[in-house]
Amino acid sequence: MWSEPVCSDSVKPSRSAQLSAVVSRGRRMMMSDQPAGSSPDAKGRGAQQARSDGPILPVRPGKEDSQQHASVADVQGSDTTQIVEQSTSVSGSATKERKRKFWSVNRSGGVGKKAKTRTALRKISLAAFALWTVSCLALGVILGWGVHDRVQAGRTTAGPSVIEIPALEQSDGFAMPDLRGLPLPDAKQVIVDGGADVDLIDVLEVEWGGQAGLVISQDPVSGEQVAARIQLQVSKQATMPDLVGMSELEAVDRLKTLGVEAVVEQRFDLAARTGTVLEASVSAGEVLPAVVNLVVAQPGAAVYLAQLKMADGGCSGRDGRINGRGYPNSTECRSGTSQNPSTGVWLLDRKVHQLTGVIGVDDRGKVDAAVQVIITGDGKELVNATATYANPVEVSVSVKDVLRLEIAVISEKQSSAMLGDMLVKGIPEEIETLEKRR
């Protein structure tokens, strides 16, 4: 036996040296299994060749290694060839068994590394799969919350609002019915039927228009729960107050306090102030009914006589001056004699109630001028007045229901009469009708 040289860590053998070492190791293994009848010379040569081969290193066989092995065999000469030939003559079963052991020993290192590598890769794959699974779960939770918030927001926006109405608390007693307008006996019967004691009813009489003995007010009001005493106000016969001369507002309020309905009718009356009560359907002191009719002075309208269309005569509109005062909407009429007076005619169609103005002589006329003016309505004399220079006469006369108005002027000195701002007054609608006829 011989010892194998150990390769120093600092010297790395060449590829050919490694191959040679592999061949030498194989040779020794085969020679150790040589049968008893084999040639001792071959053993000696094999041992000698093994000592000359150098260090033995394990190398995986490959294509390049086979080529290098061949070249090494050529260099080594005939001795190597003889060894190879002898090795081939070894029994097949022993050779195969040794080769299997040889390659299993040399491959054990590579197989272990591959197993470790596969184990590490498997662990990395499992870790990556677990991380992917956790990430998917986390993403699903986040997306789920987002969708939940959106759905809730949509429901909050689009859904109808719900208002909770608390239930009414039940209380003892019964709901008060509406008793107004009922006779007192009937009202008491309703209360008793509802479960209240008749002794809890207090009755108060109040002056009221219309039928007496009717319930006009109650406490509690209709619908409230009866918890204590019940008070009923009952009508007492009232008398008509004196309303003539009152304003419309005051008269209506007074009747309302007595439970009376006021029906107002307007009428034009120059003698009364506009808006005052002229008369009532019930005289003062009489029994007051439930409804009373009132007549109230209507605000009137007026138009200058000079602005109305004349039916006949010698009068015309002019800016007059009487006794130092201007009358810009006056009517000037020529004068005539007593046997043949000058007359102006206007058709009032019974739409005028009052005629007012000033009769005089214009300040630009003669100082000794004098005129006589006669006003008639439908042939009936209404005014007969004489005016002189600087001495005018004021006129205010009723012409209600007059169809034809005539004004005649008489002057011995042929002076003209000045009707300073003469007005016709009446109901606005009727005066407007006269104005449209101009």
411 and 349, same domain (yes or no): yes
The last residue of a domain, from among 249, 280, 299? 299
> Shortest CA distance to 243 belongs to which of 232, 233, 235, 254?
254
The last residue of a domain, from among 198, 219, 237? 237
Cβ 174 vs Cβ 195: under 8 Å? yes
Structure-block tokens of residue 220: 């509690």
**pLDDT for 43:** 42
The last residue of a domain, from among 216, 237, 258? 237
Cβ 386 vs Cβ 424: under 8 Å? no
291 and 222, same domain (yes or no): no
Q: How many CB atoms lie within 10 A of CB 100?
A: 10
Q: How many domains is the chain partitioned into structurally?
A: 3
**pLDDT for 22:** 61
* 70 domain-assigned: no
**pLDDT for 104:** 54
CATH number at residue 412: 2.60.120.1060
**pLDDT for 154:** 59
295 and 309, same domain (yes or no): no
345 and 369, same domain (yes or no): yes
* 40 domain-assigned: no
* 63 domain-assigned: no
Question: pLDDT of 152-201, one tens digit each?
Answer: 665 554 445 555 544 444 445 678 899 999 999 999 999 888 888 888 89
CA gyration radius, the chain: 73
| Alpha-carbon span 306 to 433, nearest angstrom | 16
Name, in order, each residue with C-beta under 8 angstroms of 283's C-beta and a sequence gap of 6 or more. 240
* 56 domain-assigned: no
187 CB burial (10 A radius; 0-12, 13-18, 19+): buried
Using 70 as the pLDDT threshold, list the residues of the chain that sit under it.
1-23, 25-113, 147-149, 151-173
320 and 407, same domain (yes or no): yes
312 and 424, same domain (yes or no): yes
| Alpha-carbon span 286 to 178, nearest angstrom | 31
* Separation of CA 41 from chain center: 121
CATH number at residue 199: 3.30.10.20
The Cα-based distances of 24 to 61, 102, 107 in angstroms read 14, 13, 18
257 and 361, same domain (yes or no): no
Measured between its terminal Cα atoms, the distance across the chain in Å is 167
254 and 202, same domain (yes or no): no
**pLDDT for 435:** 87
The domain in which residue 260 lies consists of 239-299
* 202 domain-assigned: yes
78-88 vs 63-76: helix crossing angle, rounded to 10: 120
pTM of the model: 0.46
> Shortest CA distance to 298 belongs to which of 255, 326, 269, 324?
269
* 321 domain-assigned: yes
Structure-block tokens of residue 255: 């009747």
Strand partners, 262: 292
